[in-house]
Amino acid sequence: DAGVIQSPRHEVTEMGQEVTLRCKPISGHDYLFWYRQTMMRGLELLIYFNNNVPIDDSGMPEDRFSAKMPNASFSTLKIQPSEPRDSAVYFCASSPVTETYGYTFGSGTRLTVV
Amino acid sequence: KNEVEQSPQNLTAQEGEFITINCSYSVGISALHWLQQHPGGGIVSLFMLSSGKKKHGRLIATINIQEKHSSLHITASHPRDSAVYICAAIPTDKLIFGTGTRLQVFP
């Protein structure tokens, strides 16, 4: 298996633009997580899905952020409009059964909003 | 106070030394995850454990559920072990991360 695949690896965009981050989880993994990592706050959960259904989105910063999982093999995290404070590394992770098998992380998307 | 605390925050060692990183948590958990993040940024899963001890190569992870404490040990440390090590508690499905321990191993 190719692991969790994220795209793009790097994204530089201007403030106010829409940004879409993409994730393909490992086939057969029922859980998908979006995390954000910054120097100030470390790793923090944004949202997670179980069987394509959003379970907990309490970590989504505000209405500018939205996430979808239209099917078991694809998820998107969208920021509209983007702001400089959104600059961070965004990780996607998937898991078959979290407390037993753990998580596999994607390589992350480094977002810079200028 | 964070729900997951790690110590030390920074650690330097000479090649060959035995390393211990500690993790304490205050929430009830179903399991605990040790992760490694290299300077390039990728996050790799090292261990997932809910009781006892696990070993993989030179890495050993232990957990004491009653004391809410876990340790990650590295035997015969090597410069390539230099990374940030993160413990993460799993109370339900989602991870609660510690702040990480930055390890540097010098030749």
pLDDT at position A1:
65
pLDDT by 10s per residue, chain B, length 107 = 678 999 999 999 999 999 999 999 998 888 899 999 988 778 998 988 889 999 999 999 999 999 999 999 999 999 999 999 999 998 877 788 998 999 999 99
Q: Kindly identify which residue of chain B lies nearest to residue A98, measuring between CA atoms.
A: B93
Taking residues A42-71, report their average pLDDT: 92
**Enclosing H/E stretch for A98:** helix A98-101
Q: Which of A4, A55, A103 to mutate to test the interface with B (most CBs of B within 10 A)?
A: A103
| pLDDT confidence tier of residue A98, bands split at 50, 70 and 90 | low
pLDDT at position A100:
61
Residues in B touching A55 (Cβ below 8 Å): 93
Instruction: Supply the mean pLDDT for chain A.
Output: 92
Residue type, A39: M
Q: What is the DSSP letter of A51?
A: T
Tell me if chain B has a CB within 8 Å of the CB of A5.
no
Taking residues A71-92, report their average pLDDT: 96
pLDDT at position A102:
73
CB contact under 8 A, B42 and A108: yes
State the Cα–Cα distance between residues B104 and B63, nearest whole angstrom: 24
State the Cα–Cα distance between residues B23 and B68, nearest whole angstrom: 8
pLDDT tens figures, A24-34: 999 999 999 99
